């Protein structure tokens, strides 16, 4: 048992020298979407920006392999699909954002384990989903408000 523990510890030390997973850069933030309202932007920042922006906050465990590999891979993949701070470039999955938020696919459960602040109540999820639909569709495709009189201005 002692030999196994020494081997595991040695492996954990050695994997720290693998260079992947430490490129914790935040490229300069560019243009954001034209948010339909400040609440949508605030909810998106709280629940989405750590992976889907160039404003990632890199937690302590993102510097320790093998967690660093997973975090780097998740952020790289998320930014490639949808990046709220590079709106001047085409966004491959922008149209999916309202649906994946509404269906509880985002934020993912494993992210929420370490980031409880990103949890959304049912009401916040509805507001964010609707707000993303309104913000990402553009001014000519604004959906109806989630509740209240649809004829009332926001």
Distance CA 123, CA 106 (A): 15
Supply the angle between the helices 122-137 and 38-47 in degrees, to the nearest 10: 110
Tokens of 106: 């985002």
Distance CA 73, CA 78 (A): 8
pLDDT in the model for residue 13:
82
Tokens of 117: 């602040």
pLDDT in the model for residue 148:
46
SS3 content of the chain, % helix, strand, coil (to 5): 55, 0, 45
pLDDT in the model for residue 138:
54
Distance CA 55, CA 27 (A): 8
Q: Helical H runs in the chain? A: 2-14, 38-47, 67-81, 97-102, 109-114, 122-137
Neighbouring residues of 40: CB distance < 8 A, sequence distance ≥ 6 = 127, 128, 131, 132, 134, 135
User: How do the pLDDT tens digits run along the chain, 154 residues long?
Assistant: 999 999 998 888 887 878 777 778 899 999 999 999 999 999 999 999 999 999 999 999 999 999 999 999 999 999 999 999 999 999 988 999 999 999 999 999 999 999 999 999 999 999 999 999 999 975 444 344 445 444 444 3
Alpha carbons within 13 angstroms on the beta-carbon side of residue 56 total: 21
């Amino acid at each position: 048992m002692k030999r196994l523990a020494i081997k595991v510890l040695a492996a954990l030390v050695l994997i720290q020298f693998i260079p992947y997973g430490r490129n914790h850069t935040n490229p300069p933030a560019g243009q954001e979407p034209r948010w339909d309202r400040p609440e949508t932007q605030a909810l998106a920042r709280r629940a989405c920006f750590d992976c889907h922006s160039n404003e990632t906050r890199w937690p302590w465990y993102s510097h320790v392999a093998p967690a660093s590999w997973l975090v780097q891979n998740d952020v790289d993949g998320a930014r490639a699909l949808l990046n709220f701070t590079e709106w001047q470039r085409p966004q491959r999955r922008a149209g999916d954002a309202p649906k994946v938020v509404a269906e509880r696919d985002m934020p993912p459960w494993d992210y929420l384990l370490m980031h409880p602040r990103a949890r959304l109540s049912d009401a916040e999820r509805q507001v964010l989903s609707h707000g993303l639909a309104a913000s990402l569709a553009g001014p000519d495709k604004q959906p109806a408000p989630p509740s209240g009189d649809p004829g009332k201005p926001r």
